[in-house]
């Protein structure tokens, strides 16, 4: 299966991805995770991407299409993939390959600030927690490795505003683009994580 997960910041794309990945043995390509790794490693790509990311703006199409093309060459991605956070502009969508299903994480903006400001992540594994909705066993500590959790630099209320603006202006047209091809499925992303998972399974088995 070739899947795209699309939705605003905090809608649950990164939370649902590992579960879909396990069920269907697909590779998970999250452009946000790849870009954050490049920023942390201070690679030339990371240096170019950092400014836009810190401001909550989109990184240029060329850079992002480049990292996705490179990542999709991996043997593990040949039988199917989950694109999480890509494409985010119509230009990116036009450059992409054929897609079987687009999961649209539909959710009201008003819910997202609480989700974003309460998120904690385990950097090396990408595991995500939430102080209220998915707390770790010990506050501030990863359940599996015992390593410290951290917050993303762009997870502030102020930067969220720009990220949401970018979503509505640049990414919502991508949903219309795929809707015209008849491949979009709506998910009730405001429901609790387990209920969203059930909805994802329904869509993918139909």
Report CA-CA distances (Å) from 119 to 15, 132, 155. Answer: 11, 9, 8
Distance in angstroms (rounded) separating the CA atoms of residues 134 and 67 = 31
Which residues neighbour 176 within 8 Å (Cβ) at sequence distance 6 or greater?
none
| Count of Cβ atoms closer than 10 Å to residue 194 Cβ | 8
Does the active-site annotation cover 13? yes
User: Could you say whether residue 133 binds ligand AP5 (CB under 6 A)?
Assistant: yes
Q: Does 52 bind ligand AP5 (CB under 6 A)?
A: yes
Q: Which of 2, 45, 50, 56 binds ligand AP5 (CB under 6 A)?
A: 56
Query: In terms of C-beta density within 10 A (0-12 exposed, 13-18 middle, 19 or more buried), how is residue 56 classed?
Result: buried
Residue 202 appears among annotated catalytic residues: no
169 is catalytic: no
Establish if 193 lies at the interface with ligand AP5 (CB under 6 A): yes
Is the CB of 8 or the CB of 14 nearer to Zn ion?
A: 14
**Judged by CB under 6 A, does residue 175 bind ligand AP5?**
no
Could you tell me the smallest distance in angstroms from the CB atom of residue 70 to Zn ion?
20
Residues identified as active-site = 13, 88, 119, 152, 163
């Amino acid at each position: 299966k070739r899947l795209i997960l699309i939705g605003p910041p905090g809608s649950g794309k990164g939370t649902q991805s590992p579960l879909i990945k396990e069920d269907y043995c697909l590779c998970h390509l999250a452009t946000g995770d790849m870009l954050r790794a490049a920023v942390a490693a201070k690679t030339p790509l990371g240096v170019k991407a950092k400014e836009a990311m810190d401001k909550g703006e989109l990184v240029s199409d060329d850079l992002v299409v480049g990292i996705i093309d490179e990542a999709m060459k991996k043997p593990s991605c040949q039988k199917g993939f989950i694109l999480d956070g890509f494409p985010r502009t119509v230009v990116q969508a036009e450059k992409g390959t054929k897609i079987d299903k687009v999961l649209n994480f539909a959710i009201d903006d008003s819910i997202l600030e609480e989700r974003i400001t309460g998120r904690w992540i385990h950097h090396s594994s990408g595991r995500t927690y939430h102080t209220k909705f998915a707390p770790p066993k010990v506050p501030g500590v990863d359940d599996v490795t015992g390593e410290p959790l951290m917050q993303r630099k762009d997870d502030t209320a102020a930067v969220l505003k720009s990220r949401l603006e970018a979503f509505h202006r640049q990414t919502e047209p991508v949903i219309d683009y795929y809707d015209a091809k008849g491949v979009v499925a709506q998910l009730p992303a405001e429901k609790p994580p387990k209920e969203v998972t059930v909805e994802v399974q329904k869509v993918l088995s139909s």
